[in-house]
Structure 1
Amino acid sequence: MKRGLTFEMPNKYGKLLGKLLKPIDISAFNWCIGGGESYKVVNNQLAEDLFTFDKEVIEGAALKNLLENNEYYIIFADLKAYPKGKEFSHIETYEDFLISNCELVFLVVDSSYTTIYCKDQSAIEYLYKNALKCGFENIDYLTDENDARTSLTAF
């Protein structure tokens, strides 16, 4: 069974997360923002934190606006999507993910190494095709057989 995808994004400024997540209706979810290091880019310089809000949860429309209308640089990111109105839970492992209300886990490590876990098999296919279209490298499906990740966090 496909768990999700893994690939490498270019290590550069841009709107890469907004482009990558195009096949997903970002606004249909509430997003739990875990530990990370991501910055807005202003005048080709790193500026304030990308996720500069006091809460660890951001409404989907606000996240969509943030990712599609700003230039930024991602070093580490940990985003988890929950359907609106569903309870949040702490997710550390793939097994935790499976029994939770979380529908999608998005992780970026060292600016390039990206992993997406998704419960919706058709969404995995759309994300895979979109990653190809975006020109990302080393794109591969994560399956029960090849997924060696032990923790679903960016740190």
Structure 2
Amino acid sequence: MKKGISFEIPNEYGTFIGEVLKPIDITVFSWRIGNGESYIIVDDELDEELFTEDKKVIEGAELKTLLENNIYYIIFADLQAYPKGEFSDIETYEEFIESQCELILLVVDSCYITIYCKNKETIELLYKNAIESGFEDVEYITDENDTRTRLSAW
């Protein structure tokens, strides 16, 4: 069974999270922002945080603007997509399946992307997009190859 996908993005400044999420309408979700470290790039330098500490929830339209209108550098990120206002604490895949969360996107060490998603068609769209975007080592996450015990970037 396909649980999601994993792949590598370039370890450089860019708009990669926006590109990764391009096949889905991120505006229909409320996004829970977990622990992470990411910065907006100004004049080729790290500037303010992309996801500020005081904002643990961001609406999809605001996230879309943030991801499409800035150049940024993601070191670690933990994003969870929920129907409007339906949040819960998720640490394991089993908790994810039982929750209202539709998608979890994790970035580790600036380039390793893991996406868990409940919708099988969305998994296929994200997979195809990752291939077409030229990302490396694109593969499905299945019961057989999933080594994660916690759904967290930290």
What residue in structure 2 maps to residue 45 of structure 1?
45
What residue in structure 2 maps to residue 125 of structure 1?
124
Residues in 2 aligned to 1:64 and 1:29: alpha-carbon distance in whole angstroms: 11
Once the two structures are TM-superposed, the CA of residue 54 in structure 1 deviates from its matched residue by 1.9
Question: Partner amino acid for 1:138?
Answer: D
Residues in 2 aligned to 1:23 and 1:67: alpha-carbon distance in whole angstroms: 14
What residue in structure 1 maps to residue 96 of structure 2?
97
List gaps (5 residues or longer) in structure 2.
none
SS of the residue corresponding to residue 4 of structure 1 reads: strand
Q: Deviations over 1:43-95 (max 9, x none)?
A: 1111000012622000000000000110000000000000114x211000000
SS of the residue corresponding to residue 129 of structure 2 reads: helix
TM-score, normalised with respect to structure 1: 0.97
Residues in 2 aligned to 1:71 and 1:137: alpha-carbon distance in whole angstroms: 21
Once the two structures are TM-superposed, the CA of residue 144 in structure 1 deviates from its matched residue by 1.3
Residues in 2 aligned to 1:6 and 1:53: alpha-carbon distance in whole angstroms: 27
What residue in structure 1 maps to residue 26 of structure 2?
26
Residues in 2 aligned to 1:123 and 1:143: alpha-carbon distance in whole angstroms: 15
What residue in structure 1 maps to residue 142 of structure 2?
143
CA RMSD, Structure 1 to Structure 2 (Å):
0.8
Q: Deviations over 1:82-139 (max 9, x none)?
A: 0114x21100000000000000000000001110000000000000010011110000
SS of the residue corresponding to residue 31 of structure 2 reads: strand
Residues in 2 aligned to 1:146 and 1:153: alpha-carbon distance in whole angstroms: 17
% identical equivalent positions: 66
What residue in structure 2 maps to residue 3 of structure 1?
3
TM-score, normalised with respect to structure 2: 0.98
What residue in structure 1 maps to residue 76 of structure 2?
76
List gaps (5 residues or longer) in structure 1.
none
* 1:56 paired to 2:39: no
SS of the residue corresponding to residue 123 of structure 2 reads: helix
Once the two structures are TM-superposed, the CA of residue 146 in structure 1 deviates from its matched residue by 1.1
